[in-house]
Amino acid sequence: MIAVLLITHGRYGEDLLASASHVLGHPLAQTGHLAVSIKDEPDTMLDEARALVHSIDDGSGVLVMTDMYGATPCNIATQLIADGNVEAVSGVSLPMLVRSLAYRDAPLAAVRDKAIAGGTEGVIFINNDPCYGKR
């Protein structure tokens, strides 16, 4: 099963994992999060991220997701990429995370693509038409 690691500013990753667990209705295996703050030394955080990747990976691979492209969490994730074993995407959101968790038995590249699709398809203009059934 593909492992999922969130590297984000502050507690955002922890909160996303808790929310995904709530939505899916069960605890999330093989997941982790690394909270990065302005006070953290990037090299120290990189070591922690590498340890997390090692601890959650069963050999199937790891999808690393970060909150904002170009920021410190993303720069840490970039250094974790290992072709075919660790992939990374930025812009993590709850739809992106839930989609990736729902497809973790697929190959890593497919889970990465599902995460990206979940993120892009999760952005929807809402009008006053009811989403499901009648109001």
Kindly list the structural domains of the chain, giving each domain's residue range(s) and its CATH number in brackets, ordered by start.
3-121 (3.40.50.510)
* Gap between the Cα atoms of 75 and 57, Å rounded: 20
* Alpha helices (H) in 1-135, listed in sequence order: 12-24, 42-56, 72-80, 94-102, 108-121
Q: What is the pLDDT of residue 133?
A: 57
Average of per-residue pLDDT values in the chain: 95
> Across residues 96-116, what is the average pLDDT?
97
- Categorize the per-residue pLDDT at 125 as very low, low, confident or very high, splitting at 50, 70 and 90: confident
* Gap between the Cα atoms of 2 and 61, Å rounded: 5
Closest by CA to 79, choosing from 118, 101, 110, 48, is 48
